[in-house]
Amino acid sequence: MQILQGVVSFLLVLMCLTGQTQPLIVADDLSEEADWNISNKIYYVEDAFGRNAQQILHSSNLDWQHNNVGFTFHKVHTPNTYWFRIRVTTRSAQARMYYLQLSNRGINETELFLLKNGRLSSSGKTGDIYPFSQRPFPAVNFTFPIYLQPGDTLTGLLYCDKRNENLNVKFRLLPASVVEQLDDKANLFIGFFSGVLLMAFLVSLILLVIFKEVLNLWYAVYIILTFNLLLTYEGLDFKWFYPEFPFYAGITRFIASSVSLFLMMHVMQLFCNQRKTESKLYGIVNLWKIFLVCMVPATWIIYRYFPDISVKKIHFIVFLIQQLLGIALVLVSCMEKIVQRYRPAIFYFLAVFLLLYSGIISILIELGILDRNTDAPNLLQWSIVLEVTLISIGILYKYQLVLRQNRTLTAELMDLKLSSVRDMLLIQREEQARIAEDLHDLMGAQLAAVKFKTMGLSIQPEEKKEILNLVDDISQSSRTIAHNLRPSALHDHDLSDVMATYIKQLNQQQSIHFEFIQVGIPKSLSPEQEMNLYKMLMELITNILRHSQATEAVVQFCFHEQHLEVIVEDNGKGIPPSTSEGMGLANIRKRIREGKCKLHVDTQPGNTTFIITLPYFL
């Protein structure tokens, strides 16, 4: 009799769980992606009494409801747990493995029970309060294996505990091959995104080495934290870095988001040159950064010492406000710089705008308001990569503008220097002209008076002749100095004409015979070049007159295509090797360096040759 009652009880339960009102999921027909989502083919019941699977199985008064509102199951802040019921069958002639996957990575506790041949068995127990190693299948989404023999029909009871929080989950039944493909696809895109972030990181390091600007250092740190944020939102940090510490998996998302937002705001200030004197938002941004820093230890303290769900709910609301308003503050700051005509801020504005848009979409998906696919690559991942890419391009554009401005400033500074040099030369010429006039007019007149007075003195003829010769030498020297200080003929004639005239005058006054030769077609020199060359020639001619003991000398101008070659040659005694270089020759070498010329000296008894090579600067 007891056996008969048990059979009747089992048949009643089986009829309740496998009635014709429940959709049947045929595993062999799950060939298209549209067939994988089975959220609209499940039944659910809310459990306020904390019943176990056996009690749920044998309860005949449960009000099972069909989830037919869409491809996502969503409940807001329910105080109770949920049980879900699915029925799977296969028509395959071979045994196959399938996987029931839950898209939500934040379920506190979940367990799948399979009913087969009247027996209820657990297919795995997991949740975000358990180590990663306890998961029935090593995936970031909660995944349960379902093994179907040929002709099997299984009924599953799935337990989900996410009390007092949003339960937003998609149910998918995936063939084993598809699970591997999805993992490979996710790893491929994570690798691609990681490669893009790595390239941006290396570019920031190169710019740091080149420009040594603190912006690039902070941006490199921001890229590292962005990569960590990418892993955190995919649950890969829990899988790879601390699989045995589920507590940290529950708070890293909040901490990583707060730190990344802090770095985003700090990099924005450096990138956009936001300063207190130029921005009305500077103080607000700094206060928000302090608030973000305080949220990091606050998150750890709340989840460690205040496990009450109402405290967590307040923390989550504060976290959302903190993120949305922080990003909005960055956008407004960029707009302020754009209004101030700082063009690189456009790149940062676009990057952060994409991130804000994707963040709002992600929140709406999590709240169940939007029904979107969250598999990799999703909108948030793309926006993070595009954000980093746009900011990197903006930094390069910023440095391009800086280099362009530096070139402009350098050119303006060079023009200013040239203008200053011209002004100094003009002042120098005016002063030299004044001194030359004083030497010529005053000293010449005074020396003439001294000569006249001397001629009237009653002294010995030899002494008188010696004094008169000395006066003549002083007079000649003063005229030479005055001529050197103010070669007025250079203002009206070419240097070659001036030299030809000067040498004719020398031949009338000196015992040394000078000859001037010009070869080639004369080309113009700048006033500075003519003055510099003129003074070098005066030094050379003066040295010939004073020290060479020559009888003949030649000054030759050879005009070539790219340069002027000046040759000064005499038949004097030459420059003895033991003789130290005098002031005149030292001055010539100095002018050679200043005028970017070349000098060649060849000296020996009976011949001394100076060759000056002067490039044209037209």
pLDDT tens, 39-97? 888 899 999 888 999 999 888 788 899 887 667 888 877 889 999 999 888 888 888 89
Q: How far apart are CA 234 and CA 466, in angstroms?
A: 109
Q: Where are the CATH 2.60.40.2380 domain residues in the chain?
A: 2-174
Residue 81 to residues 66, 100, 316, 417: CA-CA distances in angstroms?
Answer: 17, 19, 20, 81
Q: Provide CB contacts within 8 A for 253, sequence distance 6+.
A: 232, 233
Contacts of 163 (CB under 8 A, 6+ apart): 78, 79, 80, 81, 108, 309
Q: CB under 8 Å to 120, separation ≥6 — which residues?
A: 53, 54, 57, 113, 114, 157
Would you say 351 and 342 are in contact if contact means Cβ atoms under 8 Å apart?
no
Q: Are 256 and 228 a contacting pair, CB within 8 Å? A: yes
Q: Measure the CA–CA gap between 413 and 264, rounded to whole angstroms.
A: 37
Using CA atoms, how far apart are residues 29 and 96, in angstroms rounded to an integer? 13
Beta bridge partners of residue 89, listed in sequence order: 26, 153
Instruction: Check: pTM over 0.75? Answer yes or no.
Output: no
* CB contact at 8 A, 243 and 132: yes
All CATH 1.20.1070 domain ranges of the chain, comma separated, are 181-413
Looking at residue 289, what DSSP letter applies? H
Tell which residue, 358, 356, 364, 363, has the closest CA to residue 378.
358
What is the C-alpha to C-alpha distance for residues 569 and 577, in angstroms, rounded to an integer?
Answer: 18
Cα(212)–Cα(216) distance, rounded to whole angstroms? 8
CATH 3.30.565.10 residue window(s) in the chain: 490-618
Q: What does the pLDDT read at residue 479?
A: 63
Architecture of domain 181-413: Up-down Bundle (1.20)
The per-residue pLDDT for 383 is: 86
pLDDT digits (tens, 9 = 90+) for 316-366: 889 989 998 999 999 999 999 999 999 899 999 999 998 888 888 877 776
Q: Does domain 2-174 have CATH number 2.30.42.10?
A: no
CATH topology of domain 490-618: Heat Shock Protein 90 (3.30.565)
- Residue 566, helix vs strand vs coil: strand
Tokens of 376: 């990799």
Write down the pLDDT at residue 367.
Answer: 66
For 12, residues 6+ apart whose C-beta sits below 8 A from its C-beta are 60
Quick count: other Cβ atoms within 10 Å of Cβ 4? 8
Residue spans of the chain under pLDDT 70? 1-23, 31-34, 69-70, 366-368, 371-376, 418, 421-423, 425-458, 464, 468, 471-473, 475-493, 578-583, 617-618
Contact 352, 327 (CB under 8 A): yes
For residue 581, give the nearest of 529, 539, 537 by alpha carbon.
539
pLDDT of residue 491: 58
